[in-house]
């Protein structure tokens, strides 16, 4: 195994040279073969691969200082607590939050959104209050609000999308008004890669007195994120899409809002006092972190953040934007292909969603897998998007910092083979 590149996690962001050969050496799985072909991993919107630094940190926790946190006075417990809380500070710095108390660890983006829906929504939303979402949303930012609608009698409205995957901002201006109490909106569509113009939407919501939740599951791993500049009130994202382990999510919230919200779950560590008659709650963020958390993976998430910070998110975004441009140019003229999503690539993340005429995306995915190319097929937990486009599903290739133009070439060749296999005459 090649020696991983050594870098200083305390160095200024962006100091490490963006050298693809060096980067790829840090990801052992990229040396795999699948069906006798070199693995081409293009399913990063679902989950990213993990560098050796992250993998080693999980082992180091279990090998050297496995213990529960926040409760023990012994050395291992103190070391585990320090490592866990160090990651919280790294998350704060990564998104430029104001205070570590604003950083709540959850299991994933879905749980973070549900936390807001249940804790903030049940407390502050009344029957008739309007929650605005969009047609681009992942099911995780639709279903919790539908559940709250059915339970509390809120009114759920959505901003429609155009056929190119962009949002109808004129309709957004009509929908977001005095009755709007919460705007829950993605920053980047997982299905089409659309980057939503949040600045205008957030300003519009705040002007009408509404609170804003941003689903950053796709954007935080790929775009520079500054919650102070963003101006939202909540931001949800996941570690596993940004080189970290599965089972770790983040909810950032404005401190005054989190302070006013009741706990989401009850149990150990989220309490201050307990008697047989009543309980009082712990301070932020522990009020929302009941029970033993996913300690090892939170600790390892810190290494993922170090890794991303060593390059700087501007470099990562630039690389993915170049891959996207190369991919669209390469794929657009393939026989039978339809590309979905914004044509203005500055409004799009590193996602190429496509279909082949007369071929179900699942069949495309299976043929590509025989060539070692891993993509995602299906409705991508965004069925309203598929309904709007009048299709059952798409095939989706999604890029990250370790992908190359050679891999895009392999994708194009595999799609061409799929088109030939399914009888497209021009191949």
**50 lies in a domain?**
no
**Per residue in 39-71, is it b (16+ CB within 10 Å) or e — as a string?**
bbbbbbbebbbbbbbbbebbebbeeebebebbe
Instruction: Tell me how far CA of residue 322 lies from CA of 201, 239, 298, in angstroms.
Output: 28, 24, 31
Other CB atoms within 10 Å distance of the CB of residue 151: 12
Q: Which of 276, 309, 342 is the C-terminal boundary of a domain?
A: 309
Q: How far apart are CA 381 and CA 361, in angstroms?
A: 15
**221: preceding bond cis by omega (within 30 degrees):** no
Q: Is residue 37 part of a domain?
A: no
pLDDT of residue 348: 97
Residue 275's pLDDT is what? 81
Give residue 10's pLDDT: 45
CB 360 within 8 A of CB 391: no
Residues 63 and 119 in one domain: yes
130: domain CATH number?
A: 3.40.640.10
321 and 275 housed in the same domain: no
Report the chain's C-alpha Rg in angstroms.
22
pLDDT value at residue 49: 98
Q: If residue 398 lies in a helix (H) or strand (E), which one and from where to where?
A: strand 394-398
Point out the residues of the chain with pLDDT beneath 70: 1-14, 424-427
**What tokens appear for 222 in the block?**
């790929």
Q: Choose the final residue of a domain: 245, 280, 309.
A: 309
**Three-state secondary structure call for residue 377:** strand
Question: Which residues carry out catalysis?
Answer: 381
| φ, ψ for residue 161, nearest 5 deg | -105, 155
Does 380 share its domain with 264? no
- Number of domains, the chain: 2
pLDDT at 380: 95
User: Domain boundary residue among 309, 332, 366?
Assistant: 309
Count the Cβ atoms, other than its own, within 10 Å of residue 89. Answer: 15
pLDDT attached to residue 405: 98
Q: Are residues 72 and 163 in the same domain?
A: yes
Claim to verify: residue 322 and residue 289 sit in the same structural domain: no
CA atoms within 13 A on the CB side of 351: 29
DSSP 276: S
Q: Are 218 and 186 in contact (CB under 8 A)?
A: yes
In this structure, the dihedral spanned by the alpha carbons of residues 386, 194, 42 and 251, taken in order and rounded to 10 degrees, is: -100
Q: Specify the pLDDT at position 281.
A: 77
Residue 340's beta-bridge partner residues?
A: 353
Q: Tell me the C-alpha distance between 302 and 167, whole Å.
A: 35
Would strands 211-215 and 234-238 be described as parallel, antiparallel, or unpaired?
parallel
What is the C-alpha separation between 307 and 305, in angstroms, rounded? 5
Residues 76 and 190 in one domain: yes
Instruction: Render pLDDT for 247-268 as a digit per residue (tens, 0 to 9).
Output: 999 999 999 999 999 998 888 8
296/357 same-domain check: no
133 and 207, same structural domain? Answer: yes
Only one residue has tokens 């681009």, namely 136
Residue 14 has a pLDDT of: 63
Which residues constitute the domain of residue 122? Answer: 57-309
What does the DSSP assignment read for 42-88? -BTTT-----HHHHHHHHHHHHH----SSS--SHHHHHHHHHHHHHH
Pair (194, 107) in one structural domain = yes
Q: How many CB atoms lie within 10 A of CB 218?
A: 28
In this structure, the answer to whether residues 296 and 360 fall within a common structural domain is no
Asked whether residue 195 is assigned to any structural domain, the reply reads yes
Q: Is residue 137 part of a domain?
A: yes
pLDDT on residue 13 = 57
| pLDDT for the residue 383 | 95
Write the Ramachandran bin of 314: left for phi over 0, alpha for psi from -120 to 50, otherwise beta.
alpha
Statement to judge: residues 321 and 294 lie in one domain:
no
Residues 286 and 165 in one domain: yes
In residues, how long is the chain?
427
């Amino acid at each position: 195994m090649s020696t991983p590149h050594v870098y200083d996690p305390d160095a200024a962001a962006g100091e490490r040279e963006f050298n693809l050969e060096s980067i790829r050496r840090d990801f052992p799985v990229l040396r795999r073969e699948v069906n006798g072909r070199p693995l081409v991993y293009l399913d990063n919107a679902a989950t990213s691969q993990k560098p050796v630094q992250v993998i080693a940190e999980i082992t180091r926790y279990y090998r050297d200082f496995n213990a529960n946190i926040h409760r023990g006075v012994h050395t291992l417990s103190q070391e585990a607590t320090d490592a866990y809380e160090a990651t919280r500070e790294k998350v704060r710095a990564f998104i430029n939050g104001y205070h570590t108390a604003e950083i709540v660890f959850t299991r994933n983006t879905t749980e973070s959104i549900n936390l807001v829906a249940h804790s903030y929504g049940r407390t502050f939303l009344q029957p008739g209050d309007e929650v605005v979402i969009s047609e681009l949303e992942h099911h995780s930012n639709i279903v919790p609000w539908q559940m709250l609608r059915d339970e509390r009698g809120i009114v759920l409205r959505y901003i429609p999308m155009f056929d190119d995957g962009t949002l109808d901002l004129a309709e957004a201006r009509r929908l977001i008004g005095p009755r709007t109490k919460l705007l829950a909106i993605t920053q980047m569509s997982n299905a089409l890669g659309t980057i939503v113009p949040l600045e205008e939407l957030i300003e519009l919501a705040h002007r009408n007195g509404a609170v804003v939740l941003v689903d950053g599951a796709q954007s935080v791993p790929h775009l520079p994120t500054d919650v102070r500049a963003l101006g939202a009130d909540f931001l949800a994202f996941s570690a596993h899409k940004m080189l970290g382990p599965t089972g770790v999510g983040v909810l950032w919230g404005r401190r005054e809002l989190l302070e006013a919200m009741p706990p989401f779950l009850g149990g150990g560590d989220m309490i201050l006092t307990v008697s047989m008659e009543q309980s009082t709650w712990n301070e932020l963020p522990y009020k929302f972190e009941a029970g033993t958390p996913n300690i090892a993976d939170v600790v390892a998430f810190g290494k993922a953040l170090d890794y991303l910070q060593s390059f700087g998110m501007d470099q990562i975004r630039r690389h993915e934007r170049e891959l996207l441009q190369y991919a669209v140019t390469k794929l657009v003229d393939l026989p039978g292909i339809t590309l979905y999503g914004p044509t203005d690539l500055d409004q799009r993340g590193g996602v190429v969603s496509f279909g082949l005429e007369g071929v179900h995306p699942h069949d495309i995915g299976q043929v590509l897998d025989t060539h070692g190319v891993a993509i995602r097929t299906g409705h991508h937990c965004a069925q309203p998007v598929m309904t709007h486009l009048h299709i059952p599903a798409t095939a989706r290739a999604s890029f990250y910092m370790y992908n190359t133009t050679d891999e895009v070439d392999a994708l194009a060749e595999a799609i061409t083979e799929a088109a030939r296999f399914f009888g497209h005459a021009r191949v």
